[in-house]
């Protein structure tokens, strides 16, 4: 049974930073291309950033230059460093496989950007 656990969210003001963490059962993080997704209220879940097995990364245009996805295989943890946060970044953030996400998503971590 795949287990994905996200953490690190919170309430911040515009312009501030957060770092999200994702841990997963087994060797999922080092085996697959992984991604961070987010879902804002009333909107569909969208893929925000992904990292491939060779560490190549890509991002949705709205976060380019502000978010950085990374992976620490030794700690079996994936991160999303989010800088210069904007109110439109407010959402629940999830981690999952970048291609063919697992059916059982984690609980996500809430990020709220508000003054």
Sheet holding 77-82, edge to edge: 4-7, 18-24, 77-82, 67-72
Contact of 37 with 63, CB cutoff 8 Å: no
Q: Tens digits of per-residue pLDDT, 41-94?
A: 999 999 999 999 999 999 999 999 999 999 998 899 999 999 999 999 999 999
What is the pLDDT, as a whole number, of residue 17? Answer: 98
What is the pLDDT, as a whole number, of residue 1? Answer: 84
Percent of the chain with pLDDT over 90: 91
What is the pLDDT, as a whole number, of residue 55? Answer: 92
Provide the β-strand partners of residue 36.
49, 95
Helices H / strands E in the chain, number of each: 1, 10
């Amino acid at each position: 049974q795949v287990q994905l656990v996200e953490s690190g969210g919170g309430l911040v003001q515009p312009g501030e930073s957060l770092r999200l963490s994702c841990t997963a059962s087994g060797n999922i993080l080092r085996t697959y291309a992984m991604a961070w997704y987010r879902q804002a209220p009333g909107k569909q879940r969208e893929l925000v950033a992904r990292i491939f097995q060779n560490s190549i990364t890509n991002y949705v245009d709205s976060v380019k230059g502000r978010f950085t996805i990374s992976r620490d295989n030794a700690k079996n943890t994936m991160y999303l460093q989010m800088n210069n946060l904007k109110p439109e970044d407010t959402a629940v953030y999830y981690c999952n496989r970048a291609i063919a996400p697992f059916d059982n998503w984690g609980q996500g971590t809430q990020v709220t950007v508000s003054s």
